[in-house]
Structure 1
Amino acid sequence: MTYEIIDTTPLDPIAQPLLAALEIEYTTRYREFRKDSAASVSEEMLRYPAELFAPPEGAFIVIQRDGKTVGGGAFKRYDTATAELKRIWTHESERRQGLARRVVEELEARALRQGYRRVYLTTGFRQPEAAGLYTSTGYEALFDRSIAPEIHFRLPFGKDLLEPGRLESLSDLRRAEPLGQRS
């Protein structure tokens, strides 16, 4: 299978399948934990203006196969040294085939080229596949794993891009308390 990686923007029509599918997935996974799940997910999806995901401080990619958007993701500036990954997604039919790993690798490469030294991200506690992906690609959990994940709600991870596995460079990204529903 041949995949095409396209640097684009969340406003591009080819990004819409990714964004629409994320809204459905987040709404479904968190329905019982958010009062108005659909509205809060829509609000979250609109929280960041598209320009935050554009170079020189950000990036937004989609992956297409045969003209169909099957994956993608983005990053924006977290701080001067850190890119924050957002909107990592793969189509249901493409999961468990390494495509999400490729999205992460592509975003990390762009972040390095744009001068970032590390990456930060959060994923939801009802997304164990995402947590597994980040752990398997060298991300360090920046939360207390002895606390039930739903208390954290959002699970933060970090990675030193220059020295993967180096934890000292991530210490300022750790939070003293769980990331509840709003932070």
Structure 2
Amino acid sequence: MTVTARAEDIRSPDAVTLIDELSAELAALYNVGDGRAGFAPENVEVPRAAFVIARVDGVPAGCGAIRPLADGSVEVKRMYTRAAYRRRGVAQAVLTELERLAEQFGYPRVKLQTGPLQPEAAALYERVGYRRIPIFAGTWDRVLAYQKDLPAALARPEVAS
């Protein structure tokens, strides 16, 4: 089994299918009408943003995106792994590629939010070095927010003001 993850067009048929599957899964999980959580393809059709698809032996298995935030950091959105591919390293491959791209784009840190009914996602983020932070976007109080400082940011000396 070979897992690859790379940036692709968010409007490709595979991307649209993965996002639709994720949105339907989240809508059912949280009993809401729209599982898109305010996300639109335009969110990653801006400079220093990307949409990543993971493939297992060439078959689309998962996805994720990064989009810039006003505070100079980047946010991970639309993390998803198809049920048949879970626990095979797909989500970690997507996250690793998103972090690599974020660092390449010059972001000092990555932020993300997930819901309390997604303990596997929270466990992954904590396992790979994300730490809990206060909610940074939205008004839903049940959000779990995380942040990870990127290696290049950690290596930069602090600038005195």
TM-score of the superposed pair, with normalisation by structure 1:
0.73
Aligned match of 2:42: 51
Over aligned residue pairs, what C-alpha RMSD do you find? Answer: 2.4
- For 1:126 and 1:14, locate their aligned partners in 2 and report how far apart those are by CA, in whole Å: 26
1:138 counterpart letter in structure 2 = G
1:11 aligns with 2:11: yes
Structure 2's unaligned 5+ residue stretches are: none
Per the TM alignment, residue 158 of structure 1 is displaced from its structure 2 partner at its CA by: 0.5
1:14 counterpart letter in structure 2 = D
Per the TM alignment, residue 52 of structure 1 is displaced from its structure 2 partner at its CA by: 2.7
Residue from 145, 151, 155 that aligns with 2:144: 155
Considering Cα pairs closer than 8 Å and 6+ residues apart, tell me whether 1 or 2 has the greater RCO. 2
- For 1:24 and 1:50, locate their aligned partners in 2 and report how far apart those are by CA, in whole Å: 16
- For 1:121 and 1:52, locate their aligned partners in 2 and report how far apart those are by CA, in whole Å: 14
TM-score of the superposed pair, with normalisation by structure 2:
0.82
1:70 counterpart letter in structure 2 = A
Structure 1's unaligned 5+ residue stretches are: 32-36, 145-150, 170-183
Q: Deviations over 1:145-169 (max 9, x none)?
A: xxxxxx831111001012799xxx9
1:41 aligns with 2:35: yes
Residue from 62, 81, 105 that aligns with 1:114: 105
Q: 1:164 to 1:132 in 2, by over 3 A?
A: farther
Q: 1:63 to 1:95 in 2, by over 3 A?
A: same
Q: Number of matched residues? A: 151
Residue from 52, 69, 87 that aligns with 1:78: 69
Per the TM alignment, residue 11 of structure 1 is displaced from its structure 2 partner at its CA by: 1.3
Identity among equivalent positions (%) equals 33
